[in-house]
Each structure stands twice: as structure tokens, then as C-alpha cells.
Amino acid sequence: MHVAAIPAFDDNYIWAIQPYAGSDAIIVDPGEAEPVRQWLKGHDIGIMAFFITHHHWDHTNGLMDLLRDYQVPVYGPRGGHIEGITIPLGHLERFSVDGDDRAYTVFTTPGHTLDHICFYTPGHAFVGDTLFSAGCGRMFEGTAEQFHKSLQCLAELPESTNVYCAHEYTAANLEFALAAEPENQDIHQYSTQVKALREHGLKTLPSTIGLEKQINPFLRAANADEFARLRQWKDQF
């Protein structure tokens, strides 16, 4: 399985999953159509399916445009509120995409939005805006209790699981993480690595569940109250 990052907008990543070498791709959260088209053209492949994590425009705006050229299944949250979804999914539902032998499991992860879901297959988690490296999404629609529970659900995945977040926010998140946990040497060390990567224009993703357990204050929050305090602080940081 090969996963490529397609940059979009200022800091989004649209993830392209190729189950096998040279195969068509599963496109995760196509907020913009043209970067996807250019990436497909450069690799001389098509699309086998779309995964949608939540309703925000920067994750969905390119979907209907691309569906004009690729009549393929669209897996996403239940609710009927996202145009184009053909296979709505809920918590712990499992499915396979035609052309990919892997099984995917869905986790509902409300917090950033109420409809947010994540897609997991052993070794890989596509987490949208629920979990960022060293951070998490803003709490637009859910409660602190919901968001904390969602993050703990992801924390239970194997530590070697690659975490594919939808934004390149790592450097800024680490500045807050250092303020929140100034004695955490793992955060200090990783901040140095990330600074070097970004100075060379390189991405910091995917992360891993094991790394996030070491450096992410939100994933390390002991309870919903602590999470709420951190989230409010980060919103004003």
C-alpha cells in the first residue's frame, strides 16, 4: 500500500491511497479538484473510490467536480448532508473497496464536527481534522466530552499506526505543545526535527500513534476537563 500527499490550498493534504503498485487510487477528502487531476495525470492512473471524513468545504469542494469524470463509490458520514456520498457509514462499520483487498473500519469521532469519521486499515488511519500531529482540530460542533472520547478511541490503535492528518499544522502545534508541557523532552526533540523538515519544504506527515502519545497534549489529556482547558487555551494561543 502506498499513500501520497496531494497538497491543496495553503496547508491541506488530500491523501491518495494506492492499494497496489500502479493501481488506481482512493482519494481522501478532495477539497480541491485540480490538484487531484494533476496528480492522477502525472501517475497515469484513475480513481477507484473517495473517502470523506466530514462536511467542511476544504474536504469536499472538489468531490462533485471529480465525480463528473469518475463514477465511483463515495464513502462518508451518515446524515445525507454531504452531496455525492453513496455509501454512508457509522461507527465500527467495516467495508472493502472494489479493487482493494484490505478491510477498512470506520470510527465516528465527533468533536471538530458532529459528523466526523475516521478510516482505519491495519497500519494506517486517515483522521481528517480530528487529530493533528501535536494537536487536534478546533471544537466547532462537538463537546469536550465527545472530542476527548474520540481522541482516546484513536489512541487505542497500535502505536505503529501511521496517522494521516489533513493539514500541515505540526510546527505551530508544537509551539503550543511546548507551552503546555515545557518539561517534555520528546516535544523538544521532535520540534527540532520538524523545524529541519519545514526549512527544507518537506512534510511532517504521516505521524504515528506512538509518537502522538509522546508529544500531543490533547491525546495525553487525562479527562474531558483537561482537554477542554487545553482546547480553550490553544484557541487563544
Residues that constitute the known binding site for Zn(2+): 54, 56, 58-59, 112, 129, 167
CA distance 46 to 88: 23
**Do 35 and 25 touch, CB atoms closer than 8 A?**
no
- Among candidate residues 24, 29, 58, 115, the one labeled active-site is 58
The verdict on whether 43 is a catalytic residue reads no
- Among candidate residues 55, 56, 124, 148, the one labeled active-site is 56
- Among candidate residues 112, 116, 124, 148, the one labeled active-site is 112
- Among candidate residues 55, 116, 148, 167, the one labeled active-site is 167
The verdict on whether 56 is a catalytic residue reads yes
- Among candidate residues 55, 100, 129, 148, the one labeled active-site is 129
SS3 call for 18: strand
Q: Residue 8 corresponds to which cell in the numbers above? A: 491543496
- Among candidate residues 24, 29, 55, 59, the one labeled active-site is 59
CA distance 79 to 190: 39
Q: Residue 160 corresponds to which cell in the numbers above? A: 505503529
The verdict on whether 124 is a catalytic residue reads no
Residue set of the binding site: 54, 56, 58-59, 112, 129, 167
- Among candidate residues 54, 55, 116, 148, the one labeled active-site is 54
The verdict on whether 112 is a catalytic residue reads yes
The verdict on whether 129 is a catalytic residue reads yes
**Do 97 and 87 touch, CB atoms closer than 8 A?**
no
| Pairing label, strands 94-95, 124-128 | unpaired
Enumerate the active-site residues. 54, 56, 58-59, 112, 129, 167
